[in-house]
Structure 1
Amino acid sequence: MVISVNGEKGLVLVNIRDIHFMQCDKRQKNVLFHTADEIFNFNGTLSYWIEVLNQQGYRFKLCDRTAAVNMDNITHLDPVFSRACFEQEVGPHTKWCTMSRAKYKAIMDELIIKNPQIQLELN
Structure 2
Amino acid sequence: MGCLTVTRDVQGKQGMFSLKVNDIIFLECNPKVKDSIFVHTKDNQYYMVGPLKYWVTVLNNSGYRFSVVDRSNALNVDEIVWLDKIYKVAYFDHQIDKNSKRCPIAFHRYKDVENELILVNPAISIA
- Determine if the TM-score, normalized by the shorter chain, exceeds 0.5: yes
> Residue 83 of structure 1 aligns with which residue?
89
Query: Compared with structure 1, are the counterparts of its residues 5 and 114 closer, same or farther at alpha carbon in structure 2 (3 Å cutoff)?
Result: closer
Deviations 1:20-73 (A, max 9, x none): 010111311111111011111111000110011111000000000111000000
Q: Identity of paired residues, percent? A: 35
Aligned runs of 1:32-51 on 2, under 5 Å? 32-51=38-57
Deviation at 1:111, TM superposition (A): 0.9
Deviation at 1:3, TM superposition (A): 1.4
AA in 2 matched with 1:53: L
Deviations 1:89-122 (A, max 9, x none): 212211100010121110101111222210013x
The CA RMSD over aligned residues, in Å, is 1.2
Secondary structure at the residue paired with 2:119? helix
Distance 1:4 1:114 in 2: 27
How high is the TM-score relative to the length of structure 2? 0.89
Which region of structure 1 is more displaced relative to structure 2, 105-114 or 55-64?
105-114
How high is the TM-score relative to the length of structure 1? 0.91
Question: Which residues of structure 1 form unaligned runs of 5+?
Answer: none
Q: 1:27 aligns with which of 32, 54, 63?
A: 32
Question: Which residues of structure 2 form unaligned runs of 5+?
Answer: none
Distance 2:61 2:120 in 1: 20
Q: How many residues align?
A: 121
Contact in 1 for aligned 2:5/2:48 (Cα 8 Å) = no
Distance 1:56 1:73 in 2: 17
Aligned runs of 1:1-123 on 2, under 5 Å? 1-6=2-7, 7-29=12-34, 30-121=36-127
AA in 2 matched with 1:24: C
